[in-house]
Structure 1
Amino acid sequence: MRSVVVIAPVNHRVSPDHTCTAAVVALALDGWVDPGAASGPDAGAVVEAHRRWRAGARVREIAQILGVTPSSLRDQLRTGEMVLLPERVGSAGLCVQFGWTRSAQSLYRRKGVLPPPDGQDGRALWWWQETIDSWVEATELYWCPDCHHAFVAAAGAREHWTRVHG
């Protein structure tokens, strides 16, 4: 049986029909979760981990609070075995979300087109998903209808269309 542990704020909406009312929710993917099957961090550690996550703590600090190694926590986050909410979006995530290259994302960040990062974990910059969502709402983006890449200028979108799809 495989389960996913979600560490989320109280009353966080995890889907259109479900609201998380506890600090930790174990989601059974292949049946009911057996509460005695796995030992994990106590509730106090989970609440503290979430509080520190929301305050911008590094993954290394969260792992220490939860009593796991940083590499184990990173693996669990990468595979979806653990989810920490609210979601942080790194540079690679922005590239996927908007269809950008790493160099385009870096240029947009350096020129101030993107909002400043909400935090940094080691050398990696990150933004809260809500920061990116607010930026998208406030910014006129030009989307390619064929490949769904976002452009911050109409001229860039036209050049892309001509060069790639024209």
Structure 2
Amino acid sequence: MARYTLWEAVAPCWHDVLFRTGMPADPSPQQASPRGWAVRPDVVEAIARRAAGETVSALAADLGIDRRNLSGRLTTAVPALLAPWLHDVPAWRLGREQGHSLGELAELYEVPEHLIGVALDGWPDPSPSPEDVAAEVLQLWRDGADLDGIAAQIEVPPARLRRWAQEGSVRLTPARLRTSEIVERFGWSHHMAALYRDSGVLPAPDGGKPPWWWSTTIARLERGTFTHQCEECGARLASAKGVAIHRGRVHGPAV
């Protein structure tokens, strides 16, 4: 069975961080065992728990560390802990393919078993189900987080979260409406939408860049504010004056 280089043996997720340290693809024992740097005990603990399948979010909450900060620490700490054994990583992959368990390799090379698994395979994918994260997703949505931010928080790909939302596996309620959707809903021109924004008839957005409003916010305005209607197109506006402006700009002067 062919021998592996370090780059072939190690999980691809570690390529960038090793490349930044100047590590060659097939290092000598001296090159592959650079002097590592101290890793905080709580991060060492987090690596072991993350390797066992816990999510970064859960670990960050439990350890009182910012999630993004912890994620970065894990990424840089693993190569530091692996430093004394980097030259052995190709042998680990070969040994596993020959039928040796991670436990056997850990005993032979005197290395924590979970480090071998992380070196060869990267972090485990917790793969939460929609049911596992539905409550958290809904709370984050109602707190104003966008979909990409929610996906990062629950550690699933954004495309997967969007698919769950489209399928109804997770609820994103109330809905959020962009300016274009409000314009279409009420039959406004963009000029009228700008007038209503500037005058405060349309309140400040509930969040977002680009801005959005909760559907419940717009529903309240629809019932109590936009009660005047254009006879020609059905557009709903806040006043008779607004109808006149709308008709002049959209339908032209009355004949």
- TM class by shorter-chain length? 0.5 to 0.7
* In 2, Cα distance between equivalents of 1:66 and 1:93: 30
Query: In structure 1, what is the equivalent of residue 132 of structure 2?
Result: 44
Quick one: structure 1 residues 75 and 113, their matched pair in 2 at CA, closer, same or farther if it must change by over 3 Å?
A: farther
Distance 1:85 1:160 in 2: 32
Q: How does 1:62-73 map to 2 (within 5 A)?
A: 62-64=150-152, 65=154, 67-69=156-158, 73=161
Secondary structure at the aligned position of 1:84 is classed as coil
Letter in 2 for 1:164: H
Which one of the candidate residues 184, 189, 208 is aligned to 1:101? Answer: 189
Question: TM-score under structure 1 normalisation?
Answer: 0.60
* Contact 2:192–2:246, Cα closer than 8 Å, also in 1: no
Runs (5+) with no aligned partner, structure 1:
1-38
Residue in structure 1 matched with residue 172 of structure 2 by the alignment: 84
Structure 1 residue 112 displacement after superposition? 0.6
User: Identity, % of aligned pairs?
Assistant: 32
Deviations 1:121-164 (A, max 9, x none): xx211111111111222215311233121222213323544672
| Alignment equivalent of 1:112, drawn from 200, 204, 229 | 200
**1:57, distance to aligned residue in structure 2 (A):** 1.0
Task: Please give the root-mean-square deviation of Cα atoms over the aligned residues, in Å.
Answer: 2.9
Aligned partner of residue 211 in structure 2, secondary structure: strand
Deviation, 1:93, is 1.1
Distance 1:75 1:42, change over 3 A: closer
State the secondary structure of the residue aligned to 2:213.
Answer: strand
- Is 1:132–2:221 an aligned residue pair? no
Determine which structure has the larger helix proportion and give its number: 2
Q: Does 1:150 align with 2:236?
A: yes
Structure with more strand by fraction: 1
Alignment size in residue pairs: 123
Question: Per-residue CA shift, 1:99-127, capped at 9, x if unaligned?
Answer: 1233321331122111221111xx21111
Taking a change above 3 Å as real, the CA distance of residues 144 and 72 of structure 1, as seen in their structure-2 partners, is: farther
Contact 1:41/1:66 (<8 A) preserved: no
1:85 and 1:66, CA in 2 relative to 1: closer, same or farther beyond 3 A? Answer: farther
